[in-house]
Amino acid sequence: MTKNKFLRFSAVGVQMAVLIYLSSELGKHLDEKYASEKNLFTALCVMAAVGISLYQLINALPKEE
């Protein structure tokens, strides 16, 4: 793997981690604000972030011709 590809996929990994972390914090905030006992907003925000992260990862992968 070339250095350029390594850096590109490292950046995608960091981006995924930051997006999931921030969405979990948003979900916690919403759970506290709307008094959700089952952490519904946290679960929904994290699942949405994982979906978005996977979509971004798939688009970042090289396409085979």
Domain boundaries defined on the chain: 26-59
pLDDT at 10: 84
Q: Report which DSSP code applies to 65.
A: -
Q: Report which DSSP code applies to 39.
A: -
Q: Is the pLDDT of residue 61 over 70?
A: yes
pLDDT at 11: 85
pLDDT at 65: 61
Task: Give CA–CA dist 1/54, Å, rounded.
Answer: 21
Confidence of residue 55 (pLDDT cuts 50, 70, 90): very high
